[in-house]
Amino acid sequence: MRLRTFESFWLIKNGLLHSYPFLDKALKTDILVIGGGITGALVSHALMEKGYQVALIEKRDIAQGSTSATTSMLQYEIDVSLTDLAEQIGEKAAATCYQAGRRAIQAIAKLVKENKLDCGFESKESLYFAHSKEAAKKLKQEFEIREKHKLGVTWLSAKEIKTTYGIICFGGILSDTAASLDAYKFAHELIKLNVDRGMKVYDQTEITEFKLNQKKPEVLTSDGVKISCGKVIFCSGFETTRMLKENIADLFDTYATVSEQRITLKPKFYKTLFWNTSEPYLYMRMTDDGRLLIGGEDSQFRMPLFQQSIKEKKSTKLQETLQEIMPSIDFIEDFSWAGTFGSTKDGLPYIGKSPEYDNSLFVLGFGGNGITFSIQAMDIITALLEGENPELAEYYRFGR
Ligand SMILES: Cc1cc2nc3c(=O)[nH]c(=O)nc-3n(C[C@H](O)[C@H](O)[C@H](O)COP(=O)(O)OP(=O)(O)OC[C@H]3O[C@@H](n4cnc5c(N)ncnc54)[C@H](O)[C@@H]3O)c2cc1C
């Protein structure tokens, strides 16, 4: 009998790195950040850098939401192809969104290095490969538009991919800018760094009442404790969709599994992130401790979440798909888990003001590159607070 975990790998690997008091008395702050996941960590860091007085509130322990489940592939690529996004919002705007993703990956590399964050960060390449002959034709067109917009891409033939990575497919786009990290550890480390320079953090504290459409905004915790603040920044993840009338995203369950450490792959495999053109797509990467991580098999969002039996079936299916494209691989499952995942109509996030709530800004990075959007939010949110209107805020706005 093999007893498997139902918890995400990152939680087990790292344990509870830092914990904070819950809020038991009234608080006043310039900016209140709601949510202690990777988005809250990044945005609160940007606000601290600008000199704001910041308090961060988290209803669970730090980084125990989606940030503990994420597979943390940092990609400039959006779930909606540049070709399709160009049709939806225009080619110039679509290219701007893709280029912003590249800059975000460079920015997080700099942030990790400058602050010496111990979070398994590795710069990598990314290979988007075709799962069928038909898909390869479309992907070649995608390659051409990406090349036109100087996104650092090279086309690899099926033969080159087989030789270099050992993957059977029909050709693919290799991109020079990507990275991976341990998002759980990153969020903890970045929040701790800012706590050490004055940011207030309270965990196990849930905000349940929002009085934002008044001159002096305030929110209340589930214990009735009042927080008065100048602005609220919602970094509260997929659950935030419940407080919005605008239907901004569809939610899915998604599944991931990691192998044991004794797995040997071609040298370049270790330095590359992979995803393919099938729907839902399969993705994979190596972890910083030498495991192969595979994910995908998205299915309709269900409550109650993640029954054990479904997770087991999905994990088996992921491994079968892997076996088809890499027949000689010896993947021995060590951990598997499930998480909630959101998808918007254009693959873009919602960052900025919702017409439903005054005195507040939202950072809701959906899709397979949600984290890349959260990095972009650092500049967008600080610019919006300073009264500017950055170009990206136009593409990521509510009501679009
Ligand atoms: C299996 C899986 C794989 C993924 N893979 C990738 C990937 O490879 N690359 C990528 O970029 N993205 C990926 N994603 C998406 C990525 O995980 C998310 O975009 C990211 O984690 C969102 O972080 P967050 O901080 O916004 O949300 P969360 O980590 O969920 O943080 C939000 C926090 O807000 C808190 N909160 C909510 N409401 C309240 C309240 N009222 N009061 C107080 N606190 C509150 C929650 O407890 C939570 O901790 C993946 C997601 C999953 C599930």
Which residues touch 82 (CB under 8 Å, ≥6 apart)?
94, 95, 98, 142, 145, 146, 149, 151
Q: According to CATH, what is the number of the domain 73-181+250-343?
A: 3.30.9.10
Query: Where in the sequence of the chain do the CATH 3.30.9.10 domains occur?
Result: 73-181+250-343
What CATH class is the domain 9-69+184-247+347-395?
alpha beta
Ligand 1 centroid–CA 154 distance in Å is 32
In whole angstroms, give the CA distance from residue 334 to residue 341: 22
For position 2, what pLDDT does the model report?
47
- Closest Cα to atom 35 of ligand 1: 35
Residue 328 CB neighbours (<10 A): 6
Whole-model pTM?
0.96
Ligand 1 atom closest to Cα of 337? 1
Residue located via tokens 């997080």: 108
In whole angstroms, give the CA distance from residue 20 to residue 393: 33
What mean pLDDT, rounded, does the chain reach?
94
For position 301, what pLDDT does the model report?
62
| Cβ of 372 less than 6 Å from ligand 1 | yes
Three-state DSSP class for residue 317: helix
| Cβ of 108 less than 6 Å from ligand 1 | no
**Strand ranges (DSSP E) for the chain?**
27-34, 54-57, 73-75, 122-129, 153-156, 172-180, 200-202, 207-211, 218-221, 226-234, 250-259, 272-276, 283-286, 292-300, 333-343, 350-352, 360-364
| Cβ of 69 less than 6 Å from ligand 1 | yes
Query: Where in the sequence of the chain do the CATH 3.50.50.60 domains occur?
Result: 9-69+184-247+347-395
pLDDT tens, 125-173? 999 999 999 999 999 999 999 999 999 999 999 999 999 999 999 999 9
| Cβ of 365 less than 6 Å from ligand 1 | yes
Q: What is the mean pLDDT of residues 111-136?
A: 97
Could you tell me how many residues make up the chain? 400
| Cβ of 296 less than 6 Å from ligand 1 | no
pLDDT tens, 351-363? 999 999 999 999 9
pLDDT tens, 297-340? 777 766 555 567 777 888 899 999 999 999 989 999 998 888 88
